[in-house]
């Protein structure tokens, strides 16, 4: 991959009031995302930022004035990484996410961070100093080749190792199995692999809309031609039978493992040591209503 086009841009504020019901502020230290996931819904952002380059090839580094009176965010939910990854490789050089956490340190804000990176390990101690912090890693395959086809982020092994280390440090972790690719994502294998190292497992199906619908369907035709009829059925005819069958199967599978399988996440109220809760966010309408996370 060629070097991204990087600019530093001044912004008036780094915290944006969110209209999502469960997080009061969303925070994105960068504009754009060099992980460049093929299925990225956040690529719609380009429209609002004046960028014409392909998604994944540009990055604006935000420079904001020091946060005044950080204590006013005590008890507020701050979601970091709704339309970028706060731990992109460029964070190593620019350190804007670390700067954000440093400015908020001691404020009592409740952090929720979404990433596909292991660079977050650098900030483990800092994140641990926040009350009820939670970190989620998106993992939709254990197959590194498919992962490489989909994104330029950290390997799955690195994500899992980072999750394990955070969990061992007593920080709540989420394994976000998203997006589930029909016929490709082995959700059972991921649950088996991650269940000892997370407090939550989110399941989200692949939705195809906007410009990436063609991108993904072309990819399926080229690399997984045997799945074309299934994808036509789901994304052409809108048949939900695949998701309903998967829902039934995962419900039975998680019951065998002794895990709760729910559609509402109340895991913050559970003891840290309890087994992870599996939350099914299938179907876009439900996801929009729940609006709890970045669709990474």
Q: Catalog residues that contact ligand SF4 under the rule CB under 6 A.
A: 33, 35-37, 40, 42, 83-85, 116, 151, 296
CB of 259 to ligand SF4, least distance (A): 26
DSSP conformation letters of 48-65: HHT--SPTTSEEEEEE-P
Of 181, 56, 75, 197, nearest to 136 (Cα)?
A: 197
Q: What is the DSSP letter of 221?
A: H
Give the residue with the Cβ less far from ligand SF4, 83 or 259: 83
Is cis: bond before 204, omega within 30 of 0? no
The pair phi, psi for residue 128, each rounded to 5°, is -65, -20
Nearer to ligand SF4, 40 or 156 (CB): 40
Closer residue to ligand SF4, CB minimum distance, 91 or 151: 151
Nearer Cβ to ligand SF4, position 96 or 259? Answer: 96
- Least distance in Å: CB of 55 to ligand SF4? 7
Least distance (Å) from ligand SF4 to the CB of residue 237? 26
Min CB(94)–ligand SF4 separation in Å: 16
Cβ within 8 Å of residue 252, ≥6 positions away: none
Q: Rank residues 150 and 234 by Cβ distance to ligand SF4 and give the closer one.
A: 150
Please state, in angstroms and as integers, the Cα–Cα distance from residue 17 to each residue in 24, 93, 112, 226, following that order.
6, 28, 15, 45
**Residue 4 or residue 276: which is nearer to ligand SF4 going by CB?**
4
CB of 255 to ligand SF4, least distance (A): 31
> b/e string for 13-39 if b means 16 or more Cβ within 10 A?
ebbeebebeebbbbbbbbbbbbbbbeb
Q: Which residues pair with 134 in a beta bridge?
A: 112, 172
Minimum CB distance to ligand SF4, residue 169 (Å): 23
């Amino acid at each position: 991959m060629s070097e991204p086009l990087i600019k530093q841009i001044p912004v008036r504020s780094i915290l944006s009031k969110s209209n999502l019901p469960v997080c009061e502020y969303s925070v994105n230290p960068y504009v754009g995302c060099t992980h460049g996931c093929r299925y990225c819904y956040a690529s719609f952002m380009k429209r609002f930022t004046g960028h014409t380059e392909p998604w994944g090839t540009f990055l604006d580094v935000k420079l904001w004035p020091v946060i005044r009176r950080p204590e006013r965010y005590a008890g507020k939910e701050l979601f970091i990484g709704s339309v970028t990854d706060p731990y992109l490789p460029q964070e190593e050089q620019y350190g804007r996410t670390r700067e954000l956490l440093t400015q908020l340190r001691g404020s009592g804000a409740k952090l929720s961070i979404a990433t596909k990176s292991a660079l977050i390990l650098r900030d483990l101690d800092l994140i641990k100093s926040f009350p009820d912090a939670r970190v989620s890693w998106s993992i939709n395959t254990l197959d590194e080749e498919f992962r490489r086809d989909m994104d330029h982020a950290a390997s799955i092994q690195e994500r899992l190792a980072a999750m394990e280390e955070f969990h061992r440090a007593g920080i709540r972790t989420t394994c976000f199995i998203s997006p589930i690719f029909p016929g490709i994502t082995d959700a059972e294998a991921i649950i088996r692999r991650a269940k000892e190292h997370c407090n939550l497992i989110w399941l989200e199906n692949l939705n195809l809309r906007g410009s990436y619908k063609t991108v993904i369907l072309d990819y399926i035709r080229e690399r997984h031609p045997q799945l074309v009829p299934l994808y036509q059925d789901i994304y052409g005819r809108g048949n939900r039978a695949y998701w309903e069958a998967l829902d039934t199967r995962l419900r039975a599978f998680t019951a065998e493992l002794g895990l709760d399988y729910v559609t509402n996440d109340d895991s913050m109220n559970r003891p840290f040591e309890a087994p992870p809760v599996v939350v099914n966010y299938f179907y876009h309408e439900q996801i929009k209503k729940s609006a709890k996370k970045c669709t990474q």
